[in-house]
Structure 1
Amino acid sequence: MLAGLPDRNPSLFRRVGLPLGDPSACIGLPSGNKIRIVRDLEMDRVQAVGSDTGDDSVAIELGTVFCPADFTPIDGELSADRDTATAQAVAACLLKEGVSRVRCDRTLPMVYAYHVAAAGIEVDYDDELGVVDRRVKTEAEITSLRQAQHVTEQVMLQICRRIATASVDDDGHLIDEAYLLTSERLRAFAARLFMDRGFTMSHGAIVASAPDSADCHHAGTGPLSTGVPIIVDLFPRDESTRYNGDCTRTVVHGTISEELARMHAAVAASKAAGEAELVPGGTGDAVHRAVLSSLEASGYESHRGELTDEPSIQHGTGHGIGLDVHEPILLDEGGGELLAGEVFTVEPGLYGRRTGGMRLEDMLVVTENGPENLNDLPLDLDWT
């Protein structure tokens, strides 16, 4: 059983079939039948959704559609509150079907757990429910991710070129259209570009330079300068499919110093080393260790959780991606077995207060024939 708001819960969205903003639930019965409970106003739309993949060979059968009023709760009256009414209906449905025990995922709201338990039905927590089945992507899902990454790269190209071709004022700050070019202005510019393409930056974006980029997740603030690395990390959502893009490039306006060139070469080499380990039966741990070994061989140290003045390794190598930007499993220490059809980002980086940060990120599919890269943009620092 999964329940909540499909608009906010990707696992539930995948089973209901639409990103509804009202309380909904999906129940898989021991018989194999599946039931979707949604608001009465949404029943026709939800019933019209046949499968969530468009590929009959791998489609998830979404099941029969009901509304809360189709089930009589224990006390005989549905609450006027939609969340409570849906939870009551779920409990009544389970009783009607003779269910005495249900498995629920990590996202289950308390209102559902309470009403199901109050009906005398045992609630079990399944850590893998809604996780394992989303790891291996269907061809339709990979197509959606490929398209999301393609649009992400279109916007990335415009951002990097705008930085690279800006003018410079007497203080070394970048000037564009007579205005200071700032992290904030570029993020707003990216948001508009994505909006025009039917995408949203629901989690924001990163346009960061030193010293902000010493913190790998700092969004960046203030004017951008010539001669320093500027990390651009874009991770928008395609509103037509709900799948995410995620791409990072680093751009340097003007002269690229020998030190920055060395950092860039080390990050690019480590990325290639990690990608070579993206094979079915390999592990996320092995991918990360290949990246770590490569960066250490280039002379850089790991200081996770500790901001440093000199460039150092600050984070794991990557993560699964799909309906969420960050999905299990991680390409990091202890990362588990890789499965054919999983999609990951590989994003090694180096970060220091003095030099600024350097990160490169692509999206790849794990296949029996080796990793398939969904990116086309070059990894260069110079975007003129």
Structure 2
Amino acid sequence: MDPLSDAIRKSGADAFVMYASSRDADMRYLTRFTTSDPFVYFKKPGENGVIIISQMETGRASRESPAAIMTRAEAGLPELLKKEKDPLQATAKMIAGQTGGHILVPPQFPVGLAQALGEVCTVSVDKGTVPSLRAKKTKPEIALMKEVQKITETAMGKAVALIRESKPKKGILYSNDKPLTAEQVKYTMHCHLLEHGCTAVDTIVSCGEDTAIPHMTGTGPLKADEPIVIDLFPVNEKTGYYADMTRTVVKGEPSRGIREMYDALREAKQLGISRVKSGVPGPDVHQAVVDFFAERGYESDTRGFIHNLGHGVGLQVHELPTVGPAGKKLAAGNVITIEPGLYYPGTGGVRLEDIGAVTAKGFDKFTQFSEELVL
């Protein structure tokens, strides 16, 4: 079964075409080739894909990619550039010359190139075939993601250890006689990740009032007796696969409100996990947690639980499937997060996030890290 070939045939197109660098998750998935420069990928129904790249990249591409390799010279680009002043027009004619008069492109295809292609062939837009393919992970992909998660948890452990070992002075946490900052905690985690071939951006280490804003990245000294939300989602640079996890901790004595929110949060996460298995609609899993929070007196609108229960993870940190109102049925091989959170301005916020694979029987949880609140 080849869903991409089926999509091409159903659209009436001659080929599927992408133009992007490997930073585009769909391109990396289809080609397994890594480069910061954009290149062409095309696939005709029932045939293997082909990538068109510069001569200097052919040796590396032949090692990395299962696709057939064609140089830009072989595709006729140098000759076209002699005739065309506009590089986009030349590229469009090169693509049309290899693919035919009707092509299917993904929604993120560059607009300028699509317009140039529209002058030489018919262009149709696909409705998400490749992201849907990516959503179902193979056993080797799941193994790669489990390895990233192990590294992530070790980095998280270093962050928690820093906070645990800190000393409160006048409401501020100190480490080695200096205020312990969000930046220092992030730096410690990022260094560990780099040592193990991973990188992370937009890491969250928020504290106190900032924790009521889910994606506030956090800055400055960390406070005693206040919630500290640590959300870490690194990528393995070699494989391109992500992991994702969140923990909330307090050094000192949390308020009663934070304790009660956290107790409800742990139960909500376990409830969500217990509802996961293939064939179950993502919206149903999300709604079960919404209903649970409502029974505990927590809202799910402009405050309280204000985001989806989870999301897919893979070559992007946020991808299909959605575990929320807009989601569809979960399928075996989906790798998702379950991450309930509660956010109240004036009180603070708490969030827990685990990652795992959907199976026919339930949820294969990758996350093995402690849920300890008070350090």
Q: Deviations for 1:237-261, whole angstroms, at most 9, x for unmatched residues?
A: 1112111111000011012444322
Which protein is richer in helix relative to its size? 2
1:11 counterpart = 2:26? yes
Separation of aligned partners in 2, 1:339 and 1:229: 35
2:98 alignment partner, one of 87, 90, 93: 93
Q: Is the alpha carbon distance of 1:281 and 1:190 closer, same or farther for their aligned partners in structure 2, counting shifts above 3 Å? A: same
Whether the aligned pair in 2 keeps the contact of 1:363 and 1:373 (CA below 8 Å) is yes
Distance 1:175 1:67, change over 3 A: same
What is the one-letter code of the residue matched to 2:131? V
Query: Match for 1:255: what amino acid?
Result: E
Matched, 1:366 2:358: yes
1:167-206 superposed matches below 5 A = 167-169=167-169, 171-201=170-200, 203-206=201-204
CA distance in 2, matches of 1:2, 1:177: 56
Deviations 1:63-108 (A, max 9, x none): 31101111235984367997775544222212xxxx2212111221
The 5 A counterparts of 1:202-213 are 203-213=201-211
For structure 1, list consecutive stretches of 5 or more residues without a partner in the other structure.
51-61
Residue 233 (structure 2) aligns with: 235
Offset at residue 118 of structure 1 (A): 2.1
The one-letter code of the counterpart of 2:233 is: F
Q: Select 1:214's aligned residue among 212, 215, 240.
A: 212
Shift in CA distance, 74/185, structure 1 to aligned 2, threshold 3 Å? closer
Percent identity of the aligned residues? 30
Question: How far apart are 1:355 and its partner, in Å?
Answer: 2.0
Cα contact 2:92–2:113 (8 A) shared by 1 = yes
Distance, in Å, in 1 between the alignment partners of 2:53 and 2:78 is: 19
**Residue 102 of structure 1 pairs with residue 94 of structure 2:** no
1:58 maps to none
State the shift of 1:177 in Å. 1.3
Q: Secondary structure at the match of 1:351?
A: strand
Q: Is contact 2:182-2:218 (8 Å) kept?
A: yes
**Corresponding residue number in structure 1 for 2:53:** 38
- 2:132 aligned with 1:132: yes
Shift of residue 334, structure 1, vs aligned partner = 2.8
Contact 1:23/1:39 (<8 A) preserved = no
The root-mean-square deviation of aligned C-alpha atoms, in Å, is 2.0
Q: 1:356 to 1:75 in 2, by over 3 A?
A: same
2:344 aligned counterpart, secondary structure: coil
CA displacement, residues 138-168 of structure 1 (integer Å, 9 cap, x when unaligned): 1111011111111111111110121122011
Stretch of structure 1 that moved more, 340-349 or 106-115: 106-115
2: CA distance between counterparts of 1:67 and 1:315? Answer: 46
Q: Distance in 1 between matches of 2:205 and 2:363?
A: 28
Give the match for residue 253 of structure 1. 251
Question: Which amino acid in 1 is paired with 2:358?
Answer: V
**Structure 1 residue 122 corresponds to structure 2 residue 108:** no
- Equivalent-residue separation in structure 2 for 1:209 and 1:242 (angstroms): 30
Return the letter of the residue paired with 2:266: A
CA contact (8 A) 1:100 1:122 kept: yes
Q: Is the 8 A contact 1:6 1:16 kept in 2?
A: no
Q: CA deviation at 1:31?
A: 4.3
Counterpart of 2:346?
Answer: 354
Residue equivalent to 2:11: none
Q: What residue number does 1:295 align with?
A: 293
Tell me the amino acid that sits aligned with residue 158 of structure 1.
K
> Does the aligned pair in 2 maintain the 1:137–1:343 contact within 8 Å?
yes
1:225 aligned partner = 223
Which shifted more, 318-327 or 8-17?
8-17
> Which residue is equivalent to 2:5?
none
Partner of 1:151: 151
Task: State which drifts further: 29-38 or 276-285.
Answer: 29-38
Length-normalised TM-score, structure 1 = 0.88
CA pair 41-21 structure 1, distance change in 2 beyond 3 A: same
**2:323 equivalent to 1:331:** yes
Give the residue type in structure 2 aligned to 1:197: H
Report the alpha carbon displacement of residue 297 of structure 1 after superposing the two structures with TM. 1.6
Between the two proteins, the alignment pairs up a number of residues equal to 359
Amino acid corresponding to residue 174 of structure 2 in structure 1:
I
Question: Match of 1:281, SS?
Answer: coil
Task: Kindly state the Cα deviation for residue 352 of structure 1 after the two structures are TM-superposed.
Answer: 1.5
Q: Which amino acid aligns with 2:261?
A: M
Using a 3 Å threshold, how does the CA distance of structure 1 residues 256 and 73 change in structure 2: closer, same or farther? closer
Q: Secondary structure of 2:218's match? A: coil
Q: 1:362 to 1:85 in 2, by over 3 A?
A: farther
* Larger mean Cα displacement after TM superposition, 343-352 or 18-27: 18-27
Unaligned stretches of 5+ residues in structure 2: 1-15
- Answering whether residue 301 of structure 2 is matched by residue 286 of structure 1, we say no
| Equivalent-residue separation in structure 1 for 2:87 and 2:32 (angstroms) | 20
Give the whole-Å Cα distance in 1 for the aligned partners of 2:190 and 2:89: 36
Corresponding position of 1:263: 261
